[in-house]
Amino acid sequence: MRLIDDDDWSPEPGTILDWSPSAATLAAAAAAPAHPVGPSFLQRDHISAVLVQRADGRVHRGYTCSTVHVDESLDIDRMTTALTEFLGAHEGLRSSFRIGDDGQPIRYVVDAADISLVATPSEDTDPLAHLDRRLPTEAVFDTFPGCAVGAVSRPGSFDLYFGIDHAYGDGASQVLGLVEILARYRGDSASPLVTTHGSHIDYITDEYGRAGQVTPDSESVARWRHVLTESGGRIPAFPLPLGLENDEPQPVWFAEQKLSDAEDTDRLVALAKQHGTGLTAVLHTALAIAGRLVDDREWYATATVLSSRTGEHMASQGWYVNFAPLGFPVPSTDFAEVLAQAGPAVEAMKRASADPVHAVLGILLMQGVIDPSVVVSPQMVNLLDFRWFPTAPNTRDLVVFTGEGRTRNASMWAWRTADGLHIGTQYPGNPVAQESVTRFFATVRDVIATAVALEGEVA
């Protein structure tokens, strides 16, 4: 499993097939009554952003997509049944939103019994160009369903893809969705992915309930206040120039760097344990020291993306994340010294993630503590451990990518796989930003190498 740039998907030639809702299902979607539960906090933000982009005439790129290569011939009928069951099982994917007369999004949910899909061969011959045309119009919050599934089929193998509007899923949904579809395709009715998944709509109801319990005295509010106050009221930007003009977002470019191989990543984990912490603290220590080396920053802060999946929602389809603040001093470039600061800060970050971030920031905005720009696409860091995700038999090269929109920052995604630790970013597409990202990633890699050597000295 890995994250890639969308242009890097290159399946073998084959017949392109699309699964779409039948006429009867589309009629059921059009007639569905309004649902009492509206969008989640994140869904509402996403829908608002998509509407702004639509009004500006920009192509929709607020989607994600995953693909996997399957080493067996495609049975279209079996896959049609599997996809029908998959959509029927996930209430969130059976949702769509329409904008009401008051300008607010209203949810509509199609009954599982009304789901039926039809497989149609495409006249397209270029899979990548086909996705580039299909996903911007079908993986959208106000279409039904807000996802698009298809395959590139040839004798002996096929590539399956699953694209969703970001309102209906996250990175984990992308991986879990493909594995669940293939479990259903193979008739594995005992798979936990098939038998156990909570409703994302129930999760949203619970999230709003928890948001109502947040007060100015909550620990999460205190932590966000501390990190943002120390950071001047906003999340610090990327530490090197990004070549922006008038602070306007630009079309994204993608960059990736391998930070350590499997053996060295194990040593980083061992180093973390020696200091009573984990790989997350090691990663942020490396980022913090790199920031000090390239920009002399003595305080490190970022918004972190954390999964909020628990219990029956572990394998569900939906946007299950929350954001939490991470900040700590960077007194030197000594790895052990900075790690001693990062470890406790990571624990405080985890505690702060218990409360919905929108409720916390709403309080701080009303108190005038923070800059409103904090809530508009801040610089973020995310760490994924792909090793815990299940894999489907007889498959290889599962990849995840996003639509290439526009950005003014260089948020980072780190991911651990069986072959090591990687980091990537989508950044403003210009030579200045490219040079800055290249330099910063090289610096982070060098800091990681120092940490690996330190583990050996401690051991």
Domain ranges of the chain: 2-205, 215-458
What pLDDT digit, counting tens, does each position of 367-395 carry? 887 877 666 677 899 998 988 888 888 88
Q: Which two tokens stand for residue 238?
A: 């990327």
CATH architecture of 215-458: 2-Layer Sandwich (3.30)
- Crossing angle of helices 335-352 and 279-295, in 10° steps, is 120
Q: Which residues pair with 422 in a beta bridge?
A: 258, 415
Place of tokens 């603290």: 281
- Give the residues of the chain that fall short of pLDDT 50: 459
What pLDDT digit, counting tens, does each position of 155-200 carry? 999 999 999 999 999 988 999 999 999 999 998 888 888 888 899 9
The residue ranges of DSSP E strands in 182-320, in sequence order, are 250-261, 299-307
Q: Which two tokens stand for residue 378?
A: 């801040």
Q: What CATH class has 2-205?
A: alpha beta
Q: From CA 142, how far away is CA 54, in angstroms rounded?
A: 12
Polymer length of the chain: 459
Which DSSP state fits 317?
A: S
Quote the pTM value: 0.92
Q: From CA 17, how far away is CA 151, in angstroms rounded?
A: 5
Confidence (pLDDT) at 135: 95
Place of tokens 């305080």: 299
Confidence (pLDDT) at 448: 96
Confidence (pLDDT) at 154: 95
Beta-carbon count within 10 A of 298 CB? 11
Per DSSP, the three-state class of 381 is strand
Which DSSP state fits 6?
A: G
- The reply to whether domains 2-205 and 215-458 share a CATH topology is yes
Place of tokens 């259903």: 184
Mean pLDDT across the chain: 92
